[in-house]
Structure 1
Amino acid sequence: MRVTFGVLGAVTAWDEAGRELPLRGPRHRAVLARLVVAHRRVVPVARLVEDLWDEPPQRAVGALRTFVGGLRKALEPDRPPRTPSRLLVTEGPGYALRATPEEVDAWRFEQEAGVPGDADPARVLSVLSAALELWRGPAFADFGDERWLRAERARLTELRLHAVERRAEARIALGTPAEAVPDLDAHVTEHPWREQAWRLLALALYRSGRQADALAVLRRARALLAEQLGVDPGPRLRRLEEDLLRQADHLDPGAGRPAGDAEADRVWAGAAAAYESAVASRARTRLESAAGLMRDLAVTGGGGLEAARRHRAAAVAAAERSGDPELTARVIGVYDVPAVWTRSDDPDEARRLVDAAERTLRLLPAEGHDAARCRLLATVAVESRGTLPTGADAAPGESARPLRAARQAEEIARRLDDASLLAFALNGTFMQTFQRAGLSARRDAIGAELVALSARNGLPRYEILGHLVRIQSRCAVADLAGADRHAAAADALAAREEVPLVRVFTTWYRALRTATTAPPDTALAAYEEAGALLDGSGMPGLSTGLLPLARLSVAVRHGRPLPDTPGTDWGPYALWVRPLLLASGGRSEEARAALRMLPSPPRDLLYEALWCLVARAAVLAGDGPTLLRAHARLLPAAGEQAAGSGLVTLGPVGEHLDALERARPVAW
């Protein structure tokens, strides 16, 4: 028999048919209520005795066992003798109620009252209306001011009051403010200290065409707050009164604007107000929410991306200072912004984030927390982009911490069978697939999995990432028709999801396509147009030095004089461009000296392209050791294009290998 329990009113229990079960006397109900308050945790016998009696009798423990036995008979009348109870269990030093959240009205209410703040207002209204129907009276109505009950009763009451206000907010957002007025009027009469309720009531009246009544409500609020609490209204109530008097446009978002925009404004304003009211003093909740908000801000680009990086770093630092590794893990891990470019916008900040993630990994309890661990590992992999071994002696397959982190994150995500975790983990894996040249097929497989996984599970931003990754990998094998399809798909998704940064990558891809098929002047014009999108994009890791590198790539492919305008900012590519500029200017000795001191390019999307520039410099300067080194590094990509960035191309890698072999020294 399925039993459900009720504490939102008098304490009771019902069978499957909805009939009330005989729970006997008040002590039996008190035991049940105390176990509900414990939320499935074990309550020791000694604590139960202490809570049930102010002055326990001599045989209190025996009496308690009698009450428990009576409850078990009432709750499971058909249970065979001497078989363990399914619901009211004995465990360790005490008892626990092992009901599910759906079987206790208070637990179910709490679950439903947590409907996300960004949910559709119609859903919020439906869910909260059903949740509030669970209340039959005050929580634990048949008990007085018992010490063990105070905190739980106060918590549930606060959740109910907040739910009433959120339901009213949803009605206002849905354009039916008049329906919210009766509930809010009763609400403020019973709870005159709740300023958010007064604010919502005044707003609902105003939007119902009752401006005078709205102003009267605010005057009533001012008087009651002064009489009962001796305080003046807060700044939000005062500001609303001023706005009502001047009939501010934002109070009626529909005036002169598209209906969709007005509705969005109403929802945003209502949600922001509800959040501010609900979590004003919950610093930890605010930290976690701030990090999540920065995740959405980051994809807007420009100043939004820069602000997101700055505020995210501040949130992580504050979370670490709290001394709570689980909170820190959530604050770090919630920022799962898809990343496609393999050079960090702020390397110093990225290093600090990686260090924080690794510290938090060490502090997390050894058992459990697999999802949090996965997100931390994926963060390490994503933020460590471009940091695989770069020294001349580094083995191509050398294992590094970011690479291990990527593998571990992917393994955990697949084991947990969590689509959003797996998408984040695959992003980390993608960032670490640059151990050597010629790995475009591996990245293409990651992109294909991201597209399929995201399409199945409603993860549009990761679906966009998958298409961008496939643009890059299709460019690496000269499949421009395939890259075109993925560019079109990425643009369509970006327009639907309002992700403006995607246009930067697809426009640069189309410039690469032009550079592959059109005359050099046309290619340069396409790159200039693409370069204009970099200004204000908020992505210095992408934009710095990229346009000069694109101009250089066109000149190299078409045999034109290399652009070496004084003051050119080659950004992070300067080291690998300089030997070619020296050699092409006839300064072979200086070029050879620069080549022999040159580190390997970073293991990222421009790895093959930069090695092709180094190879060309080595050929022009006649530098044997670099000829050998460049040949070894480029050989795994012999069948690919030096275009795996999806932004610039140096043509077929095979052509550069042929040039190296023709210039090879006798001792090759």
Structure 2
Amino acid sequence: MRFQVLGPVLAHDDLGEPVALRGPRYREVLARLILAHRRIVPVSLLVEDLWDEPPADAVGAVRTFVAGLRRALEPDRPPRTPARLLVTEGLGYALRAEPDAVDAWRFDDAVRSASTLPAGRAFSLLTEALRWWQGPAYSDFADAGWAQAERSRLTEQRLLAVERRAEAQLALGAAAAAVPDLDAHVAEHPWREDAWGLLATALYRSGRQADALAVLARARRMLAENLGIDPGPALRRLEHDLLRQAQHLDPVATDPTVQVWEQARAAYDSAVPPGTGTRLESTAGLMRDLAVTGGGGLEAARAHRISAVVTADRLGDAELTARVIGIYDVPAIWTRSDDPAQDRRLVDIAEKTLLRLPAHDDADRARLLATIAVESRGALPVDTPTESGLRPLRASRQAEEIARRLREPTLLAFALNGVFMQSFQRAGLAQRRDTVGTEIVEVAAHSKLVTSEVLGHLILIQTRCALDDHAGADRHADAADALAQRYELPLVEVFTTWYRALRTSATTDLDTARAAYAAAAASLDGAGMPGLERGLLPLAELSLYLRHHDTERIAAIASETDWGPYRSWVEPLLLVARGESESAQNALHDITSPPRDLLFEALWAIVAQAAIAVDDVEIMRRARTQLSPAAAETTAQSGLIGVGPVREYLDNIESALSSH
């Protein structure tokens, strides 16, 4: 749940949809609790703040408001269970929102953090923070006494942020870009002498000395005529320094790329009005570039992308929405989602947009279909196929068909990414994916689509591992690293580092292999890929112990180890290693098929090993059925971990079943 008070008081759910808060009193109670910043607000104080002359049933009314807010803010909370967000403590209430859930709290943090950051990062942070303002703080309650002090404080914080942002621009050498905003700022807040000084400095550094002196003269007149005072010492010193062209006022040397960026940004802001579809498309394009920077960039790109898509959808323009969705053709390699709820939301909007799109718009249609295929990663049905379950697979094929007909390389590379994501209908399809990866590399290299070319090489690392061609996988890892270094793509190293840990594990002793995987796991810290990160290191270590037949080390794995999404498939083997055969049998009895993704064969092999140990005939037969199509492959097709050849597990299953 997210809360807005920098403007009207609003709440939004985790999909960005507004939450219905009923009448103004409900919203006022929420606003008053937000203002308390997670602290308890006594009921008596709420009554005092809400009414000048409280009615006889004021306490009961407050309780009604709180109950209504709880229903709106925690709609899925089971009846008669304690509230987790709007809690009762003692004789009052508190809103236990997360520290980043309220825009005003995030704004305070941003202003505070910016003062310690380099100019470039401070400028970016403050620019983003100032966009959160949708009007005066707590604008619904401008006349409420309880809000006045906080409204004044936040207003002062905003003015400070505007001025610190301008300081950062000056430090970056982007003085000309700072002038328009500072000019508007002093016009609206003429008593802020620091702002006048910043405007004069920006003009001087833009080669406009006369305008800079005129600004200071204007400030002097305004202060004299309206307040009867002279400018303060800082403005008087600045005027003196401008007249003598003091050396310290000269523009600071800065990175020319920063200057170009700032000048372009200022030109864009001037030429493209806010609230236009063009801005949404530009946002999606920027997020596409931001996503490949890794870490916070990837996470921020996902968040801003879905915001742009949701906004475009609300505007009701299907063609605009299709463009905003389709422009974000960021290659995807891992088959587990980083944010399933967001992906479902995106797919739903893409499906709705497809129905509204003009029939002749083939290119946008293909991008929407490819988006559905890519964002539905790991969603193929594990058991009985259904029409809805097969939808992403069919979408990938339709996107590929349109892209080939249009002969558009960028579109084809994106469509083939969707084909790859939906190429896990069964085990043993590494050769098919190898063909897809090879074509992506060829198409991307010919058309200079660098990120898609990297994707193709990463796919080929996976497939060559599965086909036991590690020399070929080495070549593709080297090619991916070379492109990543040349074009500054840090996320690529995560996958190639894990691949090289896999290679190390096949040729060295157990302890060296563990150290290689631990180093690879460190590359995931801050990479912004939770769908890849959780549970992967312990799964890699388990794969080592399996290949070395080291039951003692398997038994020694701590019970509280975070296996992420893989726990249910490794649990039976862990229990077997600890001698808990009955518990292992029970765990196998409830086992479901792993998702059809890059670890499908590896997880079935782990399950098969446990089933053999406890002589579970049914599970052995299920494992044999699922693994048989991959009899000629290894289980290292993920390019990150491997538990040995599939054939070895099938032989073990056959040997165990032969006694029945």
TM category, shorter: 0.5 to 0.7
- The Cα RMSD (Å) is 3.5
Aligned mates of 1:601, 1:607 — CA distance in 2: 6
Contact 2:572 2:584 in 1 (8 A): yes
Residue pair 1:333, 1:379 contacting (<8 A) in 2 also: yes
In the TM superposition, what is the alpha-carbon distance from 1:456 to its structure 2 partner?
A: 0.6
**1:484 aligned residue:** 474
Q: Structure 1 residues 301 and 249 mapped into 2: Cα distance closer, same or farther (>3 Å)?
A: farther
**TM-fit CA distance, 1:448:** 0.9
2:427 equivalent among 412, 419, 437: 437
2:454 to 464, 483, 500: 464
1:361 to 336, 354, 362: 354
1:202 deviates by 9.8
Deviation at 1:310, TM superposition (A): 1.1
Q: Which has the larger Rg?
A: 1
**How has the CA–CA distance of structure 1 residues 341 and 251 changed in structure 2, closer, same or farther, with 3 Å as cutoff?**
farther
Q: 1:572 to 1:247 in 2, by over 3 A?
A: farther
Query: Is 2:369 the partner of 1:377?
Result: yes
Percent of aligned pairs sharing the same letter: 58
Which residue of the partner structure matches residue 408 of structure 1? Answer: 398
Within 5 Å, give how 1:300-315 maps onto structure 2.
Answer: 300-315=293-308
Taking the TM superposition and a 5 Å limit, the aligned residue runs for 1:80-159 are: none
Q: Distance in 1 between matches of 2:257 and 2:393?
A: 42
Matches of 1:521 and 1:318, distance apart in 2: 52
Q: Is the 8 A contact 1:615 1:630 kept in 2?
A: yes
Q: Flag as ranges the 4+ runs of structure 1 deviating above 4 A.
A: 201-208, 216-223, 244-253
Aligned equivalents of 1:251, 1:282: Cα separation in 2: 37
What is the count of residue pairs matched by the alignment?
451
Q: Please list the CA deviations of residues 313-347 of structure 1 after superposition, one character each: whole Å capped at 9, or x if unmatched.
A: 11111111111111111111111111000000011
1:581 offset after TM fit, Å?
A: 1.0
Give, in angstroms, the shift of residue 592 of structure 1. 2.1
TM-score by length of structure 2 reads 0.63
Q: Does 1:425 align with 2:415?
A: yes
Bigger mean CA deviation after superposition, 279-288 or 564-573: 279-288
Does the CA-based 8 Å contact 1:284-1:327 persist in structure 2?
A: yes
Report the residue type matching 1:537 in the other structure: A
Separation in structure 1 between the aligned mates of residue 565 and residue 246 of structure 2, nearest angstrom: 55
CA shift digits 1:536-567 (9 cap, x unpaired): 11100000000010111111110112042031
How far off is 1:306 after superposition?
Answer: 1.1
The corresponding residue for 2:513 is 523
- CA shift, 1:282, in A, is 4.0
Match of 1:625 in 2: 618
The reply on whether 1:507 has 2:497 as its aligned counterpart is: yes
Q: Deviations over 1:240-297 (max 9, x none)?
A: x99x979999984635xxxxxx121111111111111111334322112111111111
Q: Which amino acid aligns with 1:376?
A: L
Secondary structure at 1:537's aligned position in 2? coil
Q: Distance in 2 between matches of 1:641 and 1:533?
A: 25
| In structure 2, distance between residues paired with 1:601 and 1:467 | 26
What do the CA deviations read for 1:451-493 (whole angstroms, capped 9, x no partner)?
Answer: 1111110100001101101111111112111111111111111
Whether the aligned pair in 2 keeps the contact of 1:253 and 1:265 (CA below 8 Å) is: no
Residue 579 of structure 1 and its aligned partner are, at CA, apart by 1.1
**Given the alignment of the two structures, is residue 603 of structure 1 paired with residue 596 of structure 2, yes or no?**
yes
**Whole-angstrom CA distance in 1 between matches of 2:453 and 2:577:** 43
SS of the aligned residue for 1:388 comes to: coil
Residues 1:269 and 1:582: Cα distance change in structure 2 (over 3 Å): same
Kindly state the Cα deviation for residue 588 of structure 1 after the two structures are TM-superposed: 2.1
1:663 partner SS: helix
Structure 1 CA distance, aligned partners of 2:248 and 2:643?
56
Q: Distance in 1 between matches of 2:247 and 2:530?
A: 40
Is residue 291–residue 302 contact of structure 2 (8 Å, CA) maintained in 1? Answer: yes
Tell me which residue corresponds to 1:328: 321
Sort the Cα spacing of 1:265 and 1:249 in 2 relative to 1 into closer, same or farther, 3 A: farther
Residues 399 and 273 of structure 1: CA distance in aligned 2, closer, same or farther (over 3 Å)? same
Given that residues 354 and 383 in structure 1 are in contact (C-alpha distance below 8 angstroms), is that contact kept between their aligned partners in structure 2?
Answer: yes
Distance in 2 separating the partners of 1:250 and 1:531: 48
Alpha-carbon displacement from aligned partner over 1:338-375 (angstroms, at most 9, x marks no partner): 1000000011111111111101111112x221111111
1:301: how far off? 1.3
Distance of aligned partners of 1:455 and 1:590 in 2 relative to their CA distance in 1, 3 Å threshold: same
Q: Deviation per CA, 1:587-620: give whole Å up to 9, x if none.
A: 2222222223211111111111101101101111
Matched letter for residue 442 of structure 1: R
User: What's the offset of the Cα at 1:584?
Assistant: 2.0
Match of 1:650 in 2: 643
Q: Is the 8 A contact 2:203 2:212 kept in 1?
A: no
Is residue 212 from structure 1 mapped to residue 204 from structure 2 by the alignment? no
Matches within 5 A, 1:521-600: 521-560=511-550, 561=552, 562=554, 563-600=556-593
Task: Give the whole-Å Cα distance in 2 for the aligned partners of 1:453 and 1:546.
Answer: 32
Q: Taking structure 1 as reference, are residues 337 and 249 closer, same or farther at Cα in structure 2, changes over 3 Å only?
A: farther
Deviations 1:299-320 (A, max 9, x none): 1111111111111111111111
Give me the whole-angstrom Cα distance separating, in 2, the residues matched to 1:355 and 1:586. Answer: 47
Q: 1:291 aligns with which of 264, 277, 284?
A: 284
- Residue 666 of structure 1, CA deviation: 4.8
The 3-state SS of whatever aligns with 2:559 is coil
For structure 1, list consecutive stretches of 5 or more residues without a partner in the other structure.
1-174, 179-200, 224-237, 256-261
Which residues of structure 2 form unaligned runs of 5+?
Answer: 1-172, 177-198, 221-234
**Do the aligned partners of 1:584 and 1:620 also contact (CA within 8 Å) in 2?**
no
* 1:548 maps to amino acid: P
Partner residue, 1:53: none
Residue identity opposite 1:353 in structure 2: L
Q: Is the contact between residue 290 and residue 301 of structure 2 (CA under 8 Å) also seen in structure 1?
A: yes
The equivalences for 1:3-18 within 5 A come to: none
Contact between 2:322 and 2:350, CA under 8 Å: does it hold in 1? yes
Which position in structure 1 is the counterpart of 2:382?
A: 390
Partners in 2 of 1:606 and 1:205 — Cα distance? 60
Q: Mean Cα displacement is larger for which, 281-290 or 472-481? A: 281-290
In structure 2, the CA distance between the partners of 1:481 and 1:265, relative to structure 1 (3 Å rule), is same
The SS at the match of 1:337 is: coil
1:571 is aligned with what amino acid?
Answer: G
Post-superposition Cα deviations, 1:217-250, rounded to whole Å, max 9, x if no partner, equal: 8679999xxxxxxxxxxxxxx9xx99x9799999
Whole-angstrom CA distance in 2 between matches of 1:527 and 1:409:
37
* Residue number in structure 1 paired with 2:50: none
Q: Answer whether contact 1:576 1:598 (CA < 8 A) is retained.
A: yes
Structure 2 vs 1, CA of residues 215 and 554 (structure 1 numbering), >3 Å: closer, same or farther? same
TM-score by length of 1: 0.63
Distance 1:615 1:459, change over 3 A: same
Pairing of 1:341-360 with structure 2 (within 5 A): 341-360=334-353
In structure 2, distance between residues paired with 1:597 and 1:662: 24
1:651 CA drift (Å): 1.1
- Give the whole-Å Cα distance in 2 for the aligned partners of 1:356 and 1:431: 20
1:483-505 per-position Cα deviation (integer Å, ceiling 9, x unaligned) = 11111111111111111111100
1:543–1:220 distance in 2 versus 1, CA, 3 Å: same
1:77 aligned partner:
none
Q: What is the CA-CA distance between 1:519 and the residue it aligns to? A: 1.1
